[in-house]
Each structure stands twice: as structure tokens, then as C-alpha cells.
């Protein structure tokens, strides 16, 4: 299939901007006359050190990261943060609050439970994670070392539309599937982190933004590779960093700037998501899965109510060039991931194909 005939709705790894891929392709074999690919360079070389510093500066500018916070480029995916966070922020017996609004927050809470006293501040498990709690639904512990939440739940298509208020308890947030899609006040977070493979770069680099005051308190047994302080001291180069992914992130950040940065993205994402949700609310065949007030602009989940019909739609969408609209296996139904790099034309085409399917499968 020709790339121009395909819209890729994958939840991650996901679509990257066309111009970024073209730029990367043009520099793949010989980066800026060095006679080398970025993949082949020493991470200590001046050419790569420039790429590294530029990418970090671009990310700091895009998210307006204050000087109190460090930016780290780590490995191990977002999932390794599930362990790294309690291993650095708690001692045995310490308490940490977790809001469990989806699968990844649930895994994070279970992982943290190996190391500290996890208090479930909210769980949406009973209602299949269709709901994001309001501030008054959170059961907060004043003595918690941190409050953990996942701002966008990739699998269930829900998002927090506010930043929880936790007093002096630092906020720790998994922003994997929404980072850079809207402005955020990083100064409110102790740690904000995200795997790259949705809005930032190919899988392989994890961005961790951390208030320096939270580093340096890791347990004695915390592996060196999992020490935030170690990584801060070594500017993410305690070992070989994921060089090529960092370079790709730099290219994506250039593209993002051309789109108006997170502010520009916020306007576009609302418009894109509205197209789909407006149609879902009118449709007599499809319906959205998440509660209206908890809907995500990044991952739109929907279903017909009939598994066989859902499967038929996924096939029909694929035949029309709309790839990866099948829902996650634990949620079923369909999911359209419409991250920053998904053009509005992709969403328009999806709505068009859904309408056509609805006409032919009227119930």
C-alpha cells in the first residue's frame, strides 16, 4: 500500500509527521556532512552532543520546563518508571497514593506495592475505567510521598481534564499518551514522564522531567541505572543513551514548533476529537465508550455493542486505508488514536468510512 493511502490510528508506536520522516530519511546516511549516520556516532562526539543539547533545549522551550526541573532521556519505556518512581521516592514503609484510572496506572500501583505502602486514592476498575474522578472523589493521604496518576488512559480513552490538587504531596504523572498535545504547568509536578512512541519519537526513549529536590533520596539497593540522581549527574549519559531516538525527538520538536507548539496542538486536537465525538453522539450504530466528561482527545474508544460487527468494521476500515482501529484486547471494540501527528484529514476519512458502514448496517 502507498503511504499516502493509509491513515495509521495505532496507539503506539504511532504515526510520525511525514516531513519528519522525510527529513530523517534525507539525513539517514550522512548527517550534516559528517560522513556518518546519527546511528553510527559516538554519543560523546561533538556532533551528537550538539543534537542532544538542542533536543533538550527544544523540549525545555516547548513545555516551558522551569530551571528547578531536570529533563532526562532514559530507556526501559514508560513501564520502567513504574519501578523507578517508588525506588527513588520512597523508603520501606512509606506511603504513596495512586489513582487507578486504567490499565497502566493499575500496573504502576501493583509494581509500587512491592516497595512501599500503596494507598488506592481512587479506582475505576468496577466501572471498567470509563470515568475519571473529580477532585472530591480522591481519597488523599496527607503523609504520602507522592500522588500518582496517568493523565491520559490510552486503552480506555479517558483523560483528566484538570490537575489534581494534593497540597504539599508531589504530583507524579504518566503523560505518555498526551504529552505535548497541550500546554502544562510543569512547576506543579514532582515528576512528569512519558514514553516517546505516541507524541514524541519512535519507541526507545523515555522522557522524565523531575524536580531536582525529589532526586537523591533513592534506596541503597536501587540499581545505579535506576537512580534519578545518577542520571542527573551524568546528564542522561551514565551509559549510552538512545541516541537515534533523541535525534528523532529533536526533529519532531522542530515540527511541533511549526504547528504552534503545545498551544497550537491543543486547538487542533480539540477540533479533531470533536469531529469524531460529534459523529458518535449522533450515530445510531456506534457509541463512545468513555463517559462524556472523561473523554480523551488522544484515544477515542467506541463500539457497536456487537463484537462480530466491531470486527467487521475494523476489516472495512482497513480495506479503506484506516489501519489499527481495533480496540485494545482488554477493552474490545474500536479505538482511534489521534495523536499530534494524525492529520485532520485522517479523522475526516474515519468519520466518512463510519458513516458509510452505518448506512450499510443500519439497526
Ligand X SMILES: Cc1ncc(COP(=O)(O)O)c(C=O)c1O
Nearest to 199 by CA among 53, 52, 78: 78
Q: Is 77 in the site for ligand X (CB under 6 A)?
A: yes
Q: Is 296 in the site for ligand X (CB under 6 A)?
A: no
Size of the site for ligand X (CB under 6 A): 11
**Near ligand X by CB under 6 A, which window of 37-45, 75-83, 121-129, 267-275?**
75-83
Q: Is 75 in the site for ligand X (CB under 6 A)?
A: no
How far CA 188 is from CA of 85, 179, 255, in Å, comes to: 17, 15, 26
Written as nine digits, the cell of 83 is: 519501578
Which helix (H) or strand (E) covers residue 303, if one does? Answer: strand 299-303
- Residue closer to ligand X (CB basis): 331 or 353: 331
Q: Is 340 in the site for ligand X (CB under 6 A)?
A: no
CB contact at 8 A, 335 and 328: yes
Q: What is the CA radius of gyration of the chain?
A: 21
Q: Is 83 in the site for ligand X (CB under 6 A)?
A: no
* x/- map, 99-138, ligand X, by CB under 6 A: -----x----------------------------------
- Residue closer to ligand X (CB basis): 245 or 304: 245
Minimum CB distance to ligand X, residue 80 (Å): 7
Which residue's Cβ has the minimum distance to ligand X?
77
Q: Is 241 in the site for ligand X (CB under 6 A)?
A: no
125 — alpha (psi -120 to 50), left (phi > 0) or beta? alpha
Interface with ligand X (CB under 6 A), residue from 177, 181, 296, 304: 177
CB contact at 8 A, 242 and 248: no
Interface with ligand X (CB under 6 A), residue from 70, 97, 111, 174: 174
* x/- map, 254-293, ligand X, by CB under 6 A: ----------------------------------------
Interface with ligand X (CB under 6 A), residue from 59, 109, 116, 150: 150
d(CA 138, CA 147): 10
Burial of 263 (0-12, 13-18, 19+ CB in 10 A): exposed
* Dihedral (CA of 174, 215, 89, 206) sign: positive
Q: Is 176 in the site for ligand X (CB under 6 A)?
A: yes
- Residue closer to ligand X (CB basis): 224 or 330: 330
d(CA 145, CA 89): 7
What do you get for the CA distance between the two ends of the chain, in Å? 33
Residue whose C-alpha cell reads 533545549 in the numeric block: 57
Helices (H), 120-260: 228-233, 243-258
Minimum CB distance to ligand X, residue 131 (Å): 17
Chain positions contacting ligand X, by CB under 6 A: 12, 77-79, 104, 150, 154, 174, 176-177, 195
Amino acid at each position: 500500500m502507498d503511504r499516502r493511502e493509509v491513515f495509521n490510528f495505532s496507539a503506539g508506536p504511532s504515526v510520525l509527521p511525514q516531513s519528519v520522516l522525510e527529513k530523517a530519511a534525507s539525513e539517514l546516511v550522512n548527517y550534516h556532512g559528517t560522513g556518518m549516520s546519527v546511528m553510527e556516532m559516538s554519543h560523546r562526539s561533538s556532533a551528537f552532543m550538539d543534537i542532544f543539547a538542542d533536543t533538550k533545549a527544544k523540549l525545555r522551550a516547548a513545555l516551558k520546563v522551569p530551571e528547578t526541573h531536570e529533563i532526562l532521556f532514559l530507556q526501559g519505556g514508560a513501564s520502567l518508571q513504574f519501578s523507578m518512581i517508588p525506588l527513588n521516592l520512597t523508603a520501606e514503609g512509606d506511603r504513596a497514593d495512586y489513582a487507578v484510572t486504567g490499565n497502566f496506572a493499575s500496573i504502576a500501583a501493583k509494581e509500587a506495592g512491592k516497595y512501599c505502602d500503596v494507598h488506592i486514592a481512587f479506582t475505576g476498575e468496577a466501572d471498567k475505567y470509563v470515568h475519571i474522578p473529580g477532585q472530591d472523589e480522591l481519597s488523599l493521604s496527607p503523609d504520602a510521598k507522592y500522588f500518582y496518576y496517568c493523565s491520559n488512559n490510552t486503552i480506555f480513552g479517558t483523560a483528566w481534564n484538570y490537575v489534581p490538587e494534593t497540597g504539599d504531596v508531589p504530583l507524579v504523572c504518566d503523560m505518555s499518551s498526551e504529552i505535548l498535545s497541550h500546554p502544562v504547568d510543569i512547576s506543579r509536578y514532582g515528576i512528569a514522564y512519558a514514553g516517546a512512541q505516541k507524541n514524541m519519537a519512535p519507541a526507545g526513549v523515555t522522557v522524565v522531567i523531575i524536580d531536582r529536590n525529589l532526586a537523591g533520596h533513592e534506596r541503597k539497593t536501587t540499581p545505579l541505572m535506576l537512580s534519578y540522581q545518577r542520571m542527573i549527574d551524568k546528564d542522561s549519559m551514565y551509559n549510552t543513551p538512545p541516541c537515534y531516538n533523541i535525534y528523532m525527538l529533536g526533529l519532531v520538536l522542530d515540527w511541533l514548533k511549526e504547528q504552534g507548539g503545545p498551544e497550537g496542538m491543543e486547538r487542533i486536537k480539540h477540533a479533531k476529537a470533536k469531529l469524531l465525538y460529534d459523529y458518535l453522539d449522533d450515530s445510531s450504530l456506534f457509541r463512545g465508550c468513555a463517559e462524556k466528561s472523561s473523554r480523551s482527545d488522544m484515544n477515542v474508544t467506541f463500539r457497536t455493542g456487537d463484537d462480530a460487527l466491531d470486527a467487521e468494521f475494523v476489516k472495512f476500515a482497513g480495506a479503506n486505508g484506516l489501519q489499527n482501529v481495533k480496540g485494545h484486547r482488554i477493552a474490545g471494540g474500536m479505538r482511534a488514536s489521534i495523536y499530534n501527528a494524525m492529520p485532520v484529514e485522517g479523522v475526516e476519512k474515519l468519520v466518512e468510512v463510519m458513516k458509510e458502514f452505518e448506512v450499510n448496517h443500519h439497526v
